[in-house]
Structure 1
Amino acid sequence: MVFILAVGAALMLGVGSAIQQRVAFRAPDGLALHVGLLWHLVRQRLWLLGLATTLLGGLLSGAALGKGSVVLVQPVLVLRLLFALSTAAIWSRRPLRPRDWATALAVTGGMVAFLVAGAPGTGNPEGVQDWEWAAPAFAIGTLTLLLVHVARRLRPNQEAPMLALGAGMLYGLQSALTQSAVHRLSTHGLLGLVTSWQPYAVFVIGLVGTLLAQSAFDLAPLSVSYPPLAVAEPLAGIAIGIGVLGGTLRFTPATFAVEAAGLIVMTLAVYLLASSPHIVGHHDEPSKEGADESG
């Protein structure tokens, strides 16, 4: 059931992200990292459709996290790139190339290898003390601020992946907090949930992550802006799931080798998939920077 929910979440997140990036890339220049970007996007019906789709994916992801572990769910969410690829291919009415299907299978194979070798365990989210969240929150918050500070000094095609990397780390933290919040709901009820800090942290982190992600989508095509997010989120989620939530992985020399190989294959395949013109959705368009220079 956890795997089915996670695959459903990946489907919704992949389709929704493809829609949102297509709209955000056409937003007016100069809005990146400004609330005005979100204000512009929420007035676009197509972007709202993408938002609704990703929110549904978030709900399915939350349900999966309530029954399983962030260490299990996050690797499955990598499959959203496969669904983004298919969505963009249908949208552009171009058949998928054999290279795209082979790379998609590599993403799936890497994920399966990691899950089978690691046999992720749920851990004990309810046993985590509030202060134990301070270290990962501080580390990710500091790294994100540093990335944003450096990114603002770079050209758009260099700025976008750094913003996406920060968004991915925030989403990984958000997923881990979501698992904690869902478990609190199941053990303490609705009153126990609304009187805790976790759901509000999930909302704030999600809002900041959305601003960073949409800013990255606004600055560069998906081939540049999406891979860092797609890679950083599961890695951050897995690290927090093990280090804070008490999730487990098998760590014998043999299983560790397979797990590492699976993650490496997934990461490389993510980049290859995102370089596909079907995922980019802008194969006939220059980057904004190039468009400005040519105009």
Structure 2
Amino acid sequence: MTAPGAWLAIAVPAAVVGAASFGLASVVQQRATKQVPKIDTLNPRLLVELVRKPIWVASVLTVIVGLSLQVVALAFGPLLLVQPLLVTSVLFATVCSAWLAGRHLDGIVMLGALCCMGGLAAFLLLARPSGGGRAMIAPQAVPLAVLLALVFAACLLAATRFPGEIRVIALALATGVLYGVTAALMKVVAEQVRAGGITEPFQHWVLYGVCVIGPCGFLLSQNAFQQGRLISPALAVITTVDPLVGVAIGVNWFGEQMIITPTVLAGETLAGMAIIGGITLLTYRGEHLRREIEREGSDDSSEGWAWG
């Protein structure tokens, strides 16, 4: 097992820079999806339309950089540490959106992003996540896998039956589930590479599962960005559900551990409430800005604020 100091020195910077890559890419992708016709959920034609946009292609390359850094982080750190750090992509997206739109940072949006980050930092300091045994898919993974599959199916059903923000949130929830599962499978692949070399993953089904589930999650994220007027609610849901699924998988599948004494559990609950409060603040502020956009009736203004 890797010494704690070693995985902290490698996993944390890799995860944070990866989150920055995801945040920047999400902002660019959200704008690009508004420039193509609306496509049905999980219809690959959306990607065919988007690939004609050079800026969207550049954002995909940024995602690849982020994924590569995530693999490095997962190879040296427990899922319980790496996945929650992805929440910082909300802050990076907030800063990037203001910069790309040529606007000052919105104070309330910034406060919401900082609440997410502060709550996350407190959670990690209290929980002190540590790695378990070797990451592998065991029989005990079946109940959680079935539960996640049911949640995913329910989200897709809701997305097809309800319009507006319910559809956006449902798509974002489904995306978060697939991203969390993909991250868990990527950790298995990373350990296979460390144990048997670069060719080892090709001998197991996990790598091929990543190649199917990962792209499906990415396609759903583009659907969520296209359906929503603002990026903040969808991105906040995705970046919260993803690490929550990662934490559940880390504990249930891989035997990772975190401190859960009554005192620490109370602190972790408060930290979780801070994260939820930050996401709620981002969502409601986003709705307020949306109403301002509609009152102004300016397409240019809409595009700028939509990045917030």
Give the TM-score taking structure 2 as reference length. Answer: 0.86
Change in CA separation of 1:108 and 1:225 when aligned onto 2, cut-off 3 Å: closer
Asked if 1:71 corresponds to 2:80, the answer is: yes
Q: How does 1:111-190 map to 2 (within 5 A)?
A: 111-126=120-135, 128-190=136-198
Match of 2:244 among 235, 239, 243: 235
Alignment match, 2:215? 207
Secondary structure of the residue aligned to 2:139 is: helix
Change in CA separation of 1:48 and 1:61 when aligned onto 2, cut-off 3 Å: same
Q: Deviations over 1:64-120 (max 9, x none)?
A: 010001100111110001100001001111111333333333222111111110000
Which runs of no fewer than 5 residues in structure 2 stay unpaired?
Answer: 1-8, 303-308
Quote the offset at 1:206 in angstroms. 0.6
Give the TM-score taking structure 1 as reference length. Answer: 0.89
| Structure-2 separation of matches of 1:255 and 1:51 | 39
Amino acid across the alignment from 2:199? L
| Structure-2 separation of matches of 1:284 and 1:112 | 34
Alignment match, 1:62? 71
Q: Contact 2:90/2:232 (CA < 8 Å) preserved in 1? A: no
Q: CA RMSD in A?
A: 2.3
Quote the offset at 1:271 in angstroms. 3.5
| Structure-2 separation of matches of 1:145 and 1:15 | 29
Secondary structure of the residue aligned to 2:224 is: helix
Amino acid across the alignment from 1:231? T
Alignment match, 2:14? 5
Q: Contact 2:236/2:279 (CA < 8 Å) preserved in 1? A: yes
Q: Deviations over 1:119-147 (max 9, x none)?
A: 00111234x34434433333222221221
| Structure-2 separation of matches of 1:45 and 1:106 | 34
Quote the offset at 1:283 in angstroms. 7.1
Amino acid across the alignment from 1:125? R
The percent identity for this pair of structures is: 29
Q: Deviations over 1:156-192 (max 9, x none)?
A: 3321110110110111111111111101110121232
Amino acid across the alignment from 2:200? G
Superposition misfits of 4+ residues, deviation over 6 angstroms: 280-283
Query: Number of residues paired by the alignment?
Result: 285
Which runs of no fewer than 5 residues in structure 1 stay unpaired?
Answer: none
Amino acid across the alignment from 1:9? G
